[in-house]
Amino acid sequence: MPRWVRQILLPIMFLLPYSAADAADLSTLVGTIGVQFQPVQAGGKRQGCSLVFSVVGQDQAYRRGALVALVGNITFWANQDQTAAVVSFKLGTSMAPHADAEAEAPYFAYLQTPHGTTATSKFFQYEAPDTPGTRIFAYALDDKVLSVLKDIVDGAQVTIGFNRTKDGLDVLVPLDLSVAETTPSETGFSRRHSKEMVSQFASCNAEVAKQIARQPNRK
């Protein structure tokens, strides 16, 4: 089982204070589990800014409402010579809360916010070499992608959309980027909220954008 699957599923299974067979109780798992800000650096130089997330949703399109765990990140990148930037979206899925679940990369995935979506933007995609079962989608900064990025730093609602087959129905999972962590209790799960992760992401983006603007051959 890939490490990222263990990271999200095993703590949940170990700490669950109720039967995993009780669908009513399992419904309290649904929601964002946690978000972390991570700077991306190379050779001591800031190269990008990332929000790493884990969230549990319901797959109504393919799995009759079964729970699905999503893990990934949203990253604002500068290229190696810092003359241009892209936004990437990394996503892996797994059935939850089964500890023996295998990771499954989506066929297609996108981000949607009140003022934009990456679903119709040009992109290239590839399987993440370090995390089997995940796929990365990278977008140039067109108006739609910039609108999504602005909504994210403004704290707007984010929705993850993905499908499992070509032309398949989309599974839509809300992502709350203000959830810092989730802890279990006797009655369900408690989520601690913070604006710090998005604030750090916004400040980091501004720093990377300034570095790009200073390059004489920027694109």
| 186-203: pLDDT as tens digits | 777 788 999 999 999 999
Q: What percent of the chain has pLDDT over 90?
A: 59
Buried b (16+ CB within 10 A) or exposed e, 111-121: bbbeebbbbeb
Question: How sure is the predictor about 132, in pLDDT bands with cuts at 50, 70 and 90?
Answer: confident
pLDDT at 82: 80
pLDDT at residue 17 tops 50:
no
Supply the DSSP string of 48-98, one letter for each residue: EEEEEEEEEEEETTTSTTEEEEEEEEEEEEE-TTSS-EEEEEEEEEEESS-
User: Does residue 214 carry a pLDDT above 90?
Assistant: no
CA contacts within 13 A on the Cβ side of 32: 24
For residue 25, the model assigns a pLDDT of 55
What does the pLDDT average to over 162-175?
95
Q: Which residues contact 168 (CB under 8 A, 6 or more apart)?
A: 61, 62, 107
DSSP state of 129: T
pLDDT > 70: what percent of the chain? 83
pLDDT average, residue stretch 129-143: 91
pLDDT in tens, 52-106: 999 999 999 988 888 888 999 999 998 877 888 999 999 999 876 555 667 889 9
Q: Identify the pLDDT of residue 179.
A: 96
The Cα-based distances of 121 to 111, 143, 144 in angstroms read: 11, 9, 7
User: 65: which 2 tokens?
Assistant: 């409402």
Confidence of residue 174 (pLDDT cuts 50, 70, 90): very high
Of residues 98 and 168, which shows the higher confidence score? 168
pTM for the whole structure = 0.86
Quick one: average pLDDT of 115-125? 95
The residue extents of the domains of the chain are 3-213
156 band by pLDDT with thresholds 50, 70 and 90: very high
